[in-house]
Structure formats: structure tokens, C-alpha cells
Amino acid sequence: MTPDLHLHNSLTRTKERFVPIDPAHVRMYVCGPTVYDLAHIGNARPVIVFDVLARLLRRLYPRLTYVRNITDVDDKINARAAESGEPIAAITARTTADFHRDMAALNALPPDAEPRATQSIAPMIALIEKLIARGHAYVAEGHVLFSVPSFGEYGALSGRSPEEMLAGARIDVAPYKRDAGDFVLWKPSPPGVPAWDSPWGKGRPGWHIECSAMSWQALGEVFDIHGGGHDLMFPHHENELAQSRCAFGTPRMASIWLHNGMLRVEGEKMSKSLGNFIVLRELLSRGAWAGEALRVAMLRTHYRADLDFTWAGLEEAKAELDDHYSMLSRAVPPPEQPALQAEMADWALAPLLDDINTPLALTRLRDLRTLENVASVGGSATAVLGRIGRGWPVVPGLAAAAFREAAGVLGLCAADPVAWLKGGEDTAWVDQAIADRLAARKARNFAEADRIRDELKAKGILLEDGPQGTTWRRA
RNA sequence: GGUCCGGUGGCCGAGUGGUCAGGCACAGGUCUGCAAAACCUGCUACGGCGGUUCAAUUCCGCCCCGGACCUCCA
């Protein structure tokens, strides 16, 4: 696949050709979770989106280092500890493990590095010292503050001037700030709150400095891609960018900034006050299919657009996966046509090169599925081949192999098809019922055969009579 | 108030200055003991008003509607 990837850069608000700083080693940083509570479905979106991008980059380039941090020092964590009595370290360790489990259920691969804020205090202090030395930060009443006016390009990422930001801002300005827009790099800790020794006394870092420190440690002063939710663009990413550029004196922090859109639920903004907050663990408990179905549901919308999550949409995504796995379950081993298989897979994946157009890639996956169905079950491929303008041979196994290859980049359809369709439990009784029904059919006792089928249907088992006998799957 | 992003057929959702998205749902059909699955066919939309153009859903302007962000929410 030719590495001709274009991405929408939030910094320039245009689609740009992706040119790695080092083509032999692409580097990407994505803001990870603050570990104080179970992940909700909104947390899942950037994980899924950037997992797809990571898989794509690995296909395009020889090496990728994908870094996603864990924020384990934060006032929300402190508050949770104060109200529950559980030690901070226990909360963060447990929540991190929960996060890992949930993300694995989404079929998201772990990042190459997962630095933690509490283990990155030294580089944070080093960065703050650089900023003070360069005149971009100052000490005031035990705090260290970043001087926004010292960085002329502040506001470029979020597209607003400091004056504009303050015009409608609903905040109180701390009296020790020289400028209302200045933000905290280091702050003193009240009793009972985690504190580390620093040149400015015992205290803790501000929110944004951790990502500047961790990306620096893991990827260097300048790297290729920085990602995260759109809500992080301001102030978090704006401040990160200011810190890193000012500390290192570089013309940029990352070449391309990517931001995924926000989530709504059944048309409404997801919020705790509306009571429509969906905890990922709860969604996953609906069945083994739920994680992958959520992945499909999310990839059906372009990553930059806001996504309206609906339960009906999740069901539709599951149904689509059922169809995919049905096709895969009957696919024969592919013929030895690696070049053609790669061509078909590349065709399906080509939309990803255009700013990660997953909805179109999913459409093409469906076309590959149809081609395989035509080859293995019967029918005509002329309609599909004509529409897509290809003259591929219709050979059993070929499109299925290309499908698997392409789906793998989307992180889909890696499960065993039979396990997916049958649920993986002990189901010898179903086979027995099918045998009984077969006997009834042979005796032309169709009333009994239909009775058995209805009985199974009531238990969520669907029978399908085919040329090779009767198969079944869960509804 | 400021900044920004969107409005595509019953629903979801790509894309394009002029020939087709696709899926779901629905309706026919092939196949089947009946079904299911699979395949085929039908369903022809681009918020409103102007403008540019031979031609606009696609470009420009205005308006309406929805959404996001505006100091610690992915």
C-alpha cells in the first residue's frame, strides 16, 4: 500500500499530506484517561479511532511508536479518595486495570508505551525549569505559572486570541496571575493531597504539563501526530503546545493534530445530569458481541464528526457483524493469488488514506463480502463489480481473504466466526434437536420438523438449511 | 456574547459542478417441503432564499435549525 496518507490537521484546519519526520519511525501521542472511575463510551471513541490509525500506520510504515498516557494525578482522583476513603494508589491501580480490560474488549491494541504522570514528575520539573529559564514561566505565591503573553502564537491551535478567550470566560482570575490567561504549571498541595519535592516547594503538577513531559520522554521534543478528543483542543492541547514549544524553542510540537468528535446519546448530550451516561462496562455486559459492535457503530461515523450513539445503532452494528461472520464461517481457504488479494484489500482500505474515512471503508468491506457470497453461495457479481469498476475473478475464498486482511486494519472480524455465531457455549443439545428435525424431514413429517425449528427459535437459535446440511446461529 | 463545526431519501451515512454511493427498514423476485441465508430488482434525497454558471446537493452570500468549545470533560 502506498503511504499516501492525508489527515485533517486541526492546527491548519486543512487536510494535509502526512509526511513523517522520520519515515523509518513514525511517532504518535494520544491523550489517555484520568483514572478515577470506570470508562464511559465517550472514552472509547478516541481509543478506537486512534487504534485504527495506529494499525494503518503500521501497515504503511516500518515502525510506529504509539504512546498513550495514564493520568494518575488529578483533583478528581483526590476527591474520589477523600469521599470513599480508598487510598489514591488503589483507586488509580484498579481503574487502570479496568480501563485495560475494557479497551481489550473493544479489540483495541495496547499502545507501545503507556507512561504515567506520577512516574514522570522529574521530567515535568525539568520542563518547568526550562520554561522559567527561557522567560516563559514565573513563580508566584508557591505556584509556577506559564506566561501566555510570552508566546506570541498562543491560541493558534484552537483558533482564538487570548482576548477572545477571556471575553466570555466564566472563570475567576487568581490574583497572583500576571495575566488572566496564564495557567498553572506547578501548584502547592494542601494537606492530604499528593505532593512531590520541587524547587518551588512541595506540590503537584498542573494538568497540562504532564503530557508535554511524557510525550517528550517517549517521543522527543517534536513528533508526528498528537491526538485526542475535540474537547481537549482548548485549553489542554493549546497549553501543551505552548509549553513544549517554548521549553524547546521548536517551531512546532507535533506535525499534525487530530481531534475526534464528541458523543451524544439518543440525540442528547451525554451527561450525568441527564442520566444518559453510558458506562462502557455496562454496555459490554450485554454480551460478548457488544465490544466489537460498539467499534463498528463508532467507525460508521467519520471520526471528526459528532457521533450520536443509539441502542438501535448498536443492534444494527451487531447485525452487520453477524453477516460478516456468516460469510467468513463458510469461506474456504483462499487461492494462491496474493497480488490480487492485496489489491482487493488495498481497495477496501484506500478510504482510510483520505483522513481515515472509516464509513467508506466499511462500505467497501461489505462489497468484498458480497463478492465472497456470490462466489461461495451463488448469485451474480456483475452488479457489484460494475458499480465499483473492477474486473476481479469470482473465486471462492479470494474476497474473504481480502476481507480478513482489510478488516484487520479496522480491528474487526478477528474472532472465530463459529464462536461468534454460536456464542461459544456447550450446545450439543442443539445438534441433537437438528438431528431429530432431520429425521422428521426425511419422514416428510414437516409439521414435526417445523415444531422443532420453532422451539429452537424461541430459544434464540436460528436454523439455516443449506446444500451441506443444516447450520445454526444465535439470533 | 465570542470562536468553530454541521444540516443528504423512513433511519444511519459517504461523496461529487453535469452518468451510481452503500447499509438498515420496506416491497417484489430467484432458491427452498416451508423458512432462513445468499443473490437480483424497486424505493432516487441533498434545510430555506438569492447569486455565479450552459449546468449546483456540490462554489458564494444571507437566513433558519442543530451541535461543540470558551481554564483542568475523550
pLDDT at A173: 67
**Contact by Cβ (8 Å): A65, A26:** yes
Closest residue (Cα, C1') to B20: A387
Nearest nucleotide to A323 (CA to C1') is B37
In angstroms, the CA of A233 and the C1' of B22 are apart by 33
Closest residue (Cα, C1') to B35: A464
Nearest nucleotide to A389 (CA to C1') is B20
- Tens digit of pLDDT per residue, chain A (475 long)? 667 899 999 998 888 899 999 999 999 999 999 999 999 999 999 999 999 999 999 999 999 999 999 999 998 999 999 989 999 999 999 999 999 999 999 999 999 999 999 999 999 999 999 999 999 999 998 899 999 989 988 888 987 776 665 554 445 567 788 888 889 999 999 888 999 999 999 999 998 999 999 999 999 999 999 999 998 998 899 999 999 999 999 999 999 999 999 998 888 888 777 777 899 999 999 999 999 999 999 999 999 998 999 999 999 999 999 999 999 999 999 999 999 999 999 999 999 999 999 999 999 999 999 999 999 888 888 889 989 989 999 999 999 999 999 999 999 999 999 999 988 666 788 888 898 898 889 889 998 888 999 888 888 888 888 877 888 988 8
* C-alpha distance from residue A265 to each of A47, A274, A435, A446, A456 (Å): 18, 10, 45, 47, 35
Identify which of A248, A257, A246 has the alpha carbon closest to the alpha carbon of residue A146.
A246
Closest residue (Cα, C1') to B22: A363
**Contact by Cβ (8 Å): A211, A236:** yes
pLDDT at A170: 47
Identify any residues that bridge with A472 across adjacent strands, giving them in sequence order.
Answer: A463
A363 touches strand B (CB under 7 A): yes
A164 touches strand B (CB under 7 A): yes
Q: What are phi and psi of A200, to 5 degrees?
A: -115, 20
Nearest nucleotide to A71 (CA to C1') is B72
Closest residue (Cα, C1') to B1: A168
Q: Round to whole Å and give the CA distance between A397 and A340.
A: 12
A183 touches strand B (CB under 7 A): yes
Nearest nucleotide to A169 (CA to C1') is B70
Identify any residues that bridge with A269 across adjacent strands, giving them in sequence order.
Answer: A264
- For residue A235, the 8-state DSSP code is I
Q: Round to whole Å and give the CA distance between A43 and A280.
A: 8
A144 touches strand B (CB under 7 A): no
In angstroms, the CA of A273 and the C1' of B43 are apart by 42
Rg (CA), chain A: 27
A442 touches strand B (CB under 7 A): no
In angstroms, the CA of A347 and the C1' of B15 are apart by 16
pLDDT at A13: 86
| Grid cell for residue A307 | 457521533
Q: Which of residues 117-136 of A touch strand B (CB under 7 A)?
A: none
Task: Report the DSSP pairing between strands A223-229 and A143-146.
Answer: unpaired
In angstroms, the CA of A323 and the C1' of B24 are apart by 13
Q: What are phi and psi of A290, to 5 degrees?
A: -65, -40
Closest residue (Cα, C1') to B30: A379
Q: Which of residues 307-336 of A touch strand B (CB under 7 A)?
A: 307-308, 312-313, 316, 319-320, 323, 326-327
pLDDT at A468: 78
A465 touches strand B (CB under 7 A): yes
Residue A470 three-state SS? strand
CA A80 to chain centre: 26
Closest residue (Cα, C1') to B33: A446
Q: Round to whole Å and give the CA distance between A163 and A95.
A: 39
**Contact by Cβ (8 Å): A323, A411:** no
| Grid cell for residue A151 | 508566546
- For residue A236, the 8-state DSSP code is I
Identify which of A161, A162, A124 has the alpha carbon closest to the alpha carbon of residue A144.
A124
pLDDT at A52: 96
A411 touches strand B (CB under 7 A): no
> What is the ipTM score, two decimals?
0.92
Amino acid identity for residue A282 in this structure: E
A269 touches strand B (CB under 7 A): yes
A76 touches strand B (CB under 7 A): yes
Q: Round to whole Å and give the CA distance between A46 and A424.
A: 30
Identify which of A258, A260, A223, A235 has the alpha carbon closest to the alpha carbon of residue A28.
A223
Identify which of A204, A260, A213 has the alpha carbon closest to the alpha carbon of residue A232.
A260
Nearest nucleotide to A47 (CA to C1') is B74
In angstroms, the CA of A7 and the C1' of B45 are apart by 29
Q: Which of residues 213-242 of A touch strand B (CB under 7 A)?
A: 228-235
CA A469 to chain centre: 40
Q: Which stretch of DSSP H or E encloses residue A376?
A: helix A358-376
Task: Kindly report the bases of strand B lying within 7 A of a protein C-beta atom.
Answer: 1-6, 11-15, 20-25, 32-41, 67-74
pLDDT at A24: 97
A252 CB-side CA count, 13 A = 13
A166 touches strand B (CB under 7 A): yes
